[in-house]
Structure 1
Amino acid sequence: MGFLEDSHVKFGITRRSFIFLRTILIGAAIFFISYAILSHTSSPQLSEEHHAESASRWNGTISREAKSLSLKSQNATLGFGDIKYISMPFRTDRQDAVHLLASIHGLKMSKVDGVVGESIHSKSVPDGGAGLRPPELGCWRAHVNVWREFLDSGKDTMLVLEDDLDFDVNIKNIFQRISIQMQHNQLRVTPPTEHEQRSAPYGLDWDVMYLGQCSDYASDRKYLSQIFDDPDTPSRADTHPHFVGMMNSLGIYGKQIGKVRVISPSWGPVCTLAYAITRAGAQRLLLNLSYLGLTTAVDVDIIRKLQAGVIRGYTITPPPFSSFRLHNYMDSDTATQKTKEEIEKEQKLSNEKDIGNLAGTSLNIRTSARHAMLKSLDRHNWEDYERLFPTKNSPPRLQDSDGSTAPPPEPFGTVAEEKEKSIKAGEAPLSEVTDNEEDTSASSKKSNKQAKFNEETKESLISPGKKSAENEPEQSLEKTNRENSAGSEQEVENKDESKEESKEEAVSDTEDTSKETGAGEPESDDKKR
C-alpha cells in the first residue's frame, strides 16, 4: 500500500481513485480468506441414495470415486476380501447362530476351527510362550491359522470374527460410513496409492483395524482422532463405560456421545472379537507373534506390538461389533477349566433362572441383530388362519371347473369314532359302503354276486364248531379203513385230493373277495381247520 501512496501522484491517480482501488483489493482479500476458512470447516453431505450421513471432520469434499468405492461395503463381505469366524468344533450352537445372522443380513462367513491348547506340541510353541495356559495357546494358534489362510488367499483384506458376536441391524450402512472416513483419513502418514483409490474401500495404510474390542484406552496423542456422525451409534445408555471414558479422553462429551464415532490410532484395544487385517498386517503379525516369539495372550501381545510401534492399527469407537453374553458358563471356551461339580452347579443355576439366548445381552449396539431376528422370524400360523378364515366350521367352498360349488368335506371325529366307523364299514356288505350309489356297471354287479356266493360258501365250509368239526372224525376213520383195504388205495386218495382242492378253492375265493370288497379280515388258519 505504501508504494501506491507514494506513486499515485506520479502516475496522475487522484486520491479518490486510490481509495476506491484500495477498497477493492481489501474486499477481494477478505473474500478469498473467508472462502478458504469455510472450505476447511464445512462438512460435506452425502446423498440419501448412498445411505451415508454427513460425517466428515476432514478438510475437503467427498469425491465421486470415494462414494462409488464405499458401496462395496454393502456386499456380502462388507467390502473386505473375505470374512472368517473362529469357532471350536464342538460349539455347533454358536455356529448355528452365526450362520443364521449371516443369512438374514446377506453376509457370507466361513468357519475356521478353534484349537484345543493341549493338542499343541511343545516344540511348536514360540519362544517365550511356554508359560501360557493351554486355552491361551489354543486361542493364539487359531488366530495364527487364520492369518496363514488369509495370506494364501491372495486377497487384500480380511475381517476376522469370533463366534459369540453380535452387531447392529444396519451393519452395512455403518461400514459404508467408515469406508468414507477411511478414504479421507486425516491420520494417514503416507498418501494413498492408485490401487487403494481404485479398489480398497478402507485404504491399505494400516495393519490391523479394531472393530470389536471389549475395552480400550487412548495414547497420550489424544489430538490424533477423526470424529464423524453416525445415526446408528449406540445411545449413551447402551455404551459401555469403558468407551464413554475412551471418548471423553478424545474430547467427546455430553450429548455428542450416542451420535458420533471416532477413528484413532490403536493403543490399548483388548480382545480379538472382531478385527480386520491387511496382507502386510498378517505378515507382521506372523513375524512378531510367531517367528520372533510370543510373550503373553494373543490380544495382549498385539497391544505390546502396537505400543512398540512395530504394528500400525486404527480403532473404531464405539466398535461396530459386540460380544453376546449369556452370563453363565457358556460364555467362554478359554477360561480356566472348572471342575465337574462347578459346572453342574452353574448348569443348575442357569436352569433355575431360565437363562438362555432369549436372556442374552449385547452392549455398544443400538439395535441388536440377535434380538431383531426374533421379531423378523416370528410367526403365528394359526392366528393368521383365524384372521383370514374366521368361520370355525370349515374353509370357504371351492368352485369346480363347471362353476358349481363343491360341498365342504365333513369334519373328522375323534380317533375312537373314526375307528368305529372303519370297523362298521368293513363288516357291511359291499352295496352299503360303495361311494357311488348309482354305479350299475358290470364289474360292480359281478362283485356283488361274487360276494354273495363267497358268503354262502364260507358259511357252508368253515362255520365254526359245527359241520367241519362233526365230519372231521368220521372222515379220518373212513380214510384209515380205506387205506387198509387192498386194491382201493388209489381211489381213496383221488377222492381225498378232490375234496381238499374243492375246499382250498372255496376258501381262496372267499379270502380274495374279502380283500377286494373290504368285507372283513380272513379267518385264522386254526379256525379254518
Structure 2
Amino acid sequence: MECRRDLILLTICAILFFLYFNIHSLHITSTQNLASLASSRAAHEYGAANSTLGFAGIIAVSKDGSPRRDSLIHSANLTGLYVTIPHQPTWTDADVETIKSKNQSIISRGSAMAWLGHLNALKWFVESGLSSALIIEDDVDWDIHLRHHQVPLVASAFRNLLNTTLANTNDPYATLRHHSNSQTFWGDLTQWELIYLGHCGDYFDMKFWPELPHQKFMDESLLPLEQMHVETEEFLRDVGLKNKQRMVHKSKNPLCSFAYGVTRASAMRILAEFSTEEENHGTWAYDVRLLEACRDLGYKCWTSTPELFHHMDEHSSEITEVNGKPLFPLKDKTDGVNTPNIGCGARSEGFKTEDPQVVEYIKHMAAEPGLCLMNTLKIEGGKTISSLG
C-alpha cells in the first residue's frame, strides 16, 4: 500500500515537472512574433542552402593581389561558402579600349577594368560547364545568417513567384515546358536570366508598384527599417514593407552588380551583347548596362529587396583604386552597422579571428536568425564571452 502511494506521488511529481517546463517553453514561444515563427518554419522546411547557395557555383570577380581577397576567403570559410576565384589577367590599355564605344565613350578607366573583370568571370563560368552561378564582387559583405536562413527564404519566395507568374502567362505551352525541365533550388533555369541578390537599390516610381509581380515575407535577420540606408528605408516604407520584412520582385531599375545570379544561357547572352559600351551612346559602367538590359531590353530579371550582399564602405573598390575616387560617392546612414543594410556582416571586425572556439561559436550563431554578435569575441578562462548586438 505504501509503495503504491509512493508511486502515485512520484507520478504526480513527474506530471508537475513536465507541465512546468512545457508551460515555461510555451511562454517563451508566445512572446515571439507569429510571422517570425512562420519564416523560421519556412527556412527549416527547405533547410540550409548548400555551400554555393543553391547555384552550381559562386564565382568571385577579383584581380590577382587584390587587398580584399584574404577577407573574402576568411568570411566565406567562416560561413561555409565555397567560392571560386578565376585567374584574372592584368588588363592593358588595349584591353580597356575594347570596352569603349568608338563614339561618345563616357566610361572611366576603372569602370572599364571592372567591366573586363565581370566578363572574365562570365567566360570562366560558361567554359566550366556549370548550369548556374552567383557572380560576386570581392568587396561585398553578407550576413552570417545568409546560408542557413536568408537564402532559403528568398529562394522559396522566388520559386513561388516564378511559378505564379508562369501560371498567369498567355503562352499555353509555357507550363508544359516548365514542368518538363528539371527544377533547381532557384526554380526553372529557363524562366529567368538575372537574379539580383546584391545591389545598391532597385528603386522606381510608385505608379509601377500595383502591377509589379512581388512576394513579401518575414525575415528575422533583417535590420530595423530605421537602421537601413536612408534611401532603402524610404523605398521600403513606400511599398508598405514593415520591420523584418523582405520581398522578391520583378526588377525595374536594379543598380550595382555586387552579387547576381546567372544561367549558362543568360551568361552567354551577356557576353554576346554587352562586351562593350552601347555604340554611339556610351555607358557609365557594366552594372548600368545590366540595368538597361532589365529595364529596356526584355531581360528576365528579379530582385531581392533589401539586398543580401552589399559593398563594404571600408574597402576601396577596384574602380576607386584605379580612378582615385568613387564614381558615385555613398550617402549611407549605418548607425554603427559595418555594411549598409547588412545586419550581422560576416566581414565585420568582430569576426576576424582564427580562434577555433570563437569560429565554432560564430557558426552556431549563424543558425539562429535573431542572434548577432556585433563586438569582438574574447576567450577568457576557456569560456566564450560575447556582447550581443
Q: TM-score range by the shorter chain?
A: 0.5 to 0.7
Task: Give 1:110's aligned residue.
Answer: 84
User: How has the CA–CA distance of structure 1 residues 51 and 156 changed in structure 2, closer, same or farther, with 3 Å as cutoff?
Assistant: same
**Which residue of structure 2 lines up, in the alignment, with residue 306 of structure 1?**
294
1:237 and 2:226 correspond: yes
Which residue of structure 2 aligns with residue 201 of structure 1?
186
CA distance in structure 1 between the partners assigned to 2:124 and 2:54 by the alignment: 19
Whether the 8 Å CA contact 1:228–1:260 is kept in 2: the answer is yes
* Displacement after TM superposition at 1:154 (Å): 2.3
Match among 333, 340, 349 for residue 363 of structure 1: 340
In structure 1, the residue matched to 2:158 is 182
- Alignment partner of 1:51 out of 37, 43, 51: 43
Contact 1:116 1:134 in 2 (8 A): no
Deviations 1:210-257 (A, max 9, x none): 1111123125421212211111122213311222232234333xxx1x
Say if 1:117 and 1:137, in contact at 8 Å, map to a contact too: no
1: distance between equivalents of 2:155 and 2:183? 13
Partner of 1:271: 256
- Corresponding residue of 2:63: 88
Greater mean deviation of Cα atoms: 214-223 or 135-144? 214-223
Instruction: Say if 1:238 and 1:365, in contact at 8 Å, map to a contact too.
Output: no
Following superposition, the deviation at residue 366 of structure 1 comes to 1.9
**1:128-147 equivalent positions in 2, closer than 5 A:** 128=102, 130-147=105-122
| Residue of structure 2 aligned with 1:283, choices 252, 255, 268 | 268
Please give the per-residue CA displacement for 1:42-93, whole angstroms capped at 9, x wherever unaligned: x9x86967634xxxxxxxxxxxxxx5xx44x5211011010011112221x3
The equivalent of 1:443 in structure 2 is none
* 1:113-143: CA deviation from partner (whole Å, max 9, x where unpaired): 4565544446733645854222121111111
Q: Distance in 1 between matches of 2:143 and 2:38?
A: 21
- The 1-side partners of 2:337 and 2:41 are apart by 35
Describe the SS at the equivalent of 2:272: helix
Give the whole-Å Cα distance in 1 for the aligned partners of 2:97 and 2:122. Answer: 20
1:197 to partner: Cα distance = 5.5
Where does the alignment leave 5 or more consecutive residues of structure 1 unmatched? 1-42, 53-66, 343-358, 387-529
Checking the alignment, whether the CA contact within 8 Å between 1:222 and 1:250 is kept in structure 2 is: yes
- TM-score, normalization: structure 2? 0.67
CA distance in 2, matches of 1:51, 1:265: 22
Distance 1:196 1:365 in 2: 35
For residue 319 of structure 2, what is the aligned residue in structure 1?
334
Over 3 Å counting, the alpha-carbon distance change for 1:266 and 1:47 in structure 2 is closer
2:367 aligns with none
Aligned length: 299
**1:102 to 1:293, Cα distance in 2 relative to 1, 3 A:** same
Question: How far apart in 1 are the matches of 2:108 and 2:91?
Answer: 8
Query: For the structure 1 residues 127 and 324, does the alpha-carbon distance in structure 2 shift closer, same or farther, using more than 3 Å as the test?
Result: closer
Give the alignment partner of residue 373 of structure 1, picking from 340, 351, 356: 351
Q: Quickly say closer, same or farther: Cα 1:305–1:333, change in 2 above 3 A.
A: same
1:139–1:113 distance in 2 versus 1, CA, 3 Å: farther
For 1:248, which of 225, 232, 237 is the aligned residue?
237
Matched to 2:59, the amino acid is: K
* 1:323 counterpart residue number: 311
Residues 195, 301 of structure 2: 8 Å contact kept: yes
Task: Pick from 184, 191, 203 the counterpart of residue 217 of structure 1.
Answer: 203
Post-superposition CA distance 1:416-449 (Å, at most 9, x none)? xxxxxxxxxxxxxxxxxxxxxxxxxxxxxxxxxx
Whether the aligned pair in 1 keeps the contact of 2:133 and 2:263 (CA below 8 Å) is yes
Q: TM-score, normalised by structure 1?
A: 0.51
State the identity %: 22
The structure where helix makes up a greater share of residues is 1
Distance 1:288 1:183 in 2: 27
CA contact (8 A) 1:322 1:364 kept: yes
Distance 1:247 1:334, change over 3 A: same
Matched-pair contact (CA < 8 Å) for 2:195–2:261: yes
Q: CA deviation digits over 1:15-64, x for unaligned, max 9? A: xxxxxxxxxxxxxxxxxxxxxxxxxxxx9x86967634xxxxxxxxxxxx
**Could you tell me how far 1:313 is from its partner in structure 2?**
0.5
Distance in 2 (alpha carbons) for counterparts of 1:373 and 1:332: 21
1:99 aligns with: 73
- 1:184 to 1:143, Cα distance in 2 relative to 1, 3 A: same
Residues 195/229 of structure 1: CA separation in 2 closer, same or farther (3 Å cut): farther
Pick 1 or 2: higher relative contact order, CA cutoff 8 A, min separation 6.
2
Give the number of the structure whose alpha-carbon radius of gyration is greater. Answer: 1
Task: Map 1:418-457 to 2 at 5 A.
Answer: none
Over aligned residue pairs, what C-alpha RMSD do you find?
3.2
Q: Are 2:101 and 1:124 equivalent residues in the alignment? A: no
The amino acid of 2:124's aligned partner reads: E
Give the distance between the partners of 1:122 and 1:368, measured in 2 at CA: 34
Q: When you count strand as a share of all residues, which structure comes out higher?
A: 2
**Structure 2: tracts of 5 or more residues without a match:** 1-34, 326-335, 360-375, 384-389
Specify the SS of the correspondent of 1:269: coil
Opposite residue 134 of structure 1, the aligned amino acid is R
Aligned to 1:227: 216
Q: Secondary structure at the match of 1:199?
A: coil
Distance in 2 of aligned mates of 1:132 and 1:291: 10
Q: Give, as a single letter, the amino acid of the residue that structure 1 aligns with 2:295.
A: Q
Larger mean CA deviation between 275-284 and 212-221 belongs to 212-221
Distance 1:47-1:332 versus aligned 2 partners, 3 A rule: closer
Residues 102/126 of structure 1: CA separation in 2 closer, same or farther (3 Å cut):
same
Determine if contact 1:183/1:202 at 8 Å carries over to the other structure.
yes
| Cα pair 2:98 2:276 within 8 Å, conserved | no
